[in-house]
């Protein structure tokens, strides 16, 4: 699986110690053992009063890479490890996008950051052709490419004619029979012809198409992580 999540400066790295804020438990320190895009294997610290790994499974948590779910780490014989848990980061939760400037591993969701709008959704690197139809011009289309995609928006490249505030229609093929056809707004564009688009007009069908795709990427990340064990 190829892909990544958000900004380089807050990626999870092997041998890094991070703090998890676990629902119902509070702060729990953990050592990052290995990562793949969208998931990580963690060794929770042994602290009196903090349940071992198997009891963390199924709990929601916040991490330096954003929100996610802790899952049990199985042994080859099917039993559950006490010393290790798997973290799968959330791929869905609509939020305004901001172009992150290329492939990355993980990023924090920074609450109340002054210059940056908080994002609650993970971005995956996705380089794919997309048809862009600006409503400002009234006709014509632009053959562009996506750089990344989330439940809240997308980053586009090769779109120098777009301007912040432009309304547009996006047609993006996410797989056989999975065409995403939605409306959005350009929230910014840089000098290199890259633009961040907020997807704010999706039908129920198109939202389901997008959510299924992102969840499939999430499942693939977990499968990849467990294959490394």
Residue 122 backbone phi and psi in degrees, to 5:
-75, 140
Q: Pairing mode, if any, of strands 80-89 and 60-63?
A: unpaired
CA atoms within 13 A on the CB side of 107: 26
> What is the reported pLDDT for 229?
63
Domain 124-213, what fold? Thrombin, subunit H (2.40.10)
Count of Cβ atoms closer than 10 Å to residue 23 Cβ = 13
Helix/strand/coil for 127: strand
> What is the reported pLDDT for 91?
64
Is 2.40.10 the CATH classification of the domain at 8-91+220-227? yes
> What is the reported pLDDT for 49?
67
- How far is residue 23 from each of residues 29, 63, 120, 187, 218, measured CA to CA in Å? 14, 12, 17, 33, 21
> What is the reported pLDDT for 106?
26
Fold identical between 8-91+220-227 and 124-213? yes
Is the four-CA dihedral 183, 188, 189, 195 of positive or negative sign?
A: negative
> What is the reported pLDDT for 219?
84
Over the chain (229 residues), the average pLDDT of each successive run of 10 is 37 88 88 87 81 81 87 81 87 41 30 36 78 76 88 90 91 88 92 91 91 86 81
**Where exactly are the structural domains of the chain?**
8-91+220-227, 124-213
> What is the reported pLDDT for 124?
78
């Amino acid at each position: 699986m190829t892909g990544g999540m958000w900004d380089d400066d807050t990626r999870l790295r092997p041998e890094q110690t991070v703090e998890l804020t676990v629902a119902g438990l509070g702060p729990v320190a953990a050592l990052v053992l290995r990562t793949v895009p969208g998931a990580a294997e963690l060794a929770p610290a042994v602290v009196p009063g903090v349940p071992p790994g198997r009891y963390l499974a199924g709990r929601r948590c916040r991490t330096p890479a954003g929100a996610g779910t802790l899952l049990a780490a199985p042994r080859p014989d099917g039993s559950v490890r006490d010393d290790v848990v798997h973290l799968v980061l959330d791929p869905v939760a609509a939020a305004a996008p901001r172009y992150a400037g290329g492939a990355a591993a993980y990023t924090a969701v920074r609450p109340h950051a002054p210059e940056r709008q908080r994002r609650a959704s993970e971005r995956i690197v996705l380089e794919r052709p997309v048809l862009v139809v600006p409503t400002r011009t009234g006709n014509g289309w632009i053959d562009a490419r996506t750089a990344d995609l989330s439940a809240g928006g997308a980053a586009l490249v090769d779109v120098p004619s777009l301007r912040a505030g432009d309304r547009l229609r996006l047609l993006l093929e996410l797989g056989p029979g999975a065409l995403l056809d939605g409306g959005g707004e350009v929230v910014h564009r840089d000098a290199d012809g890259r633009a961040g688009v907020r997807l704010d007009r999706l039908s129920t069908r198109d939202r389901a198409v997008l959510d299924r795709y992102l969840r499939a990427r999430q499942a693939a990340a977990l499968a990849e992580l467990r294959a490394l064990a």
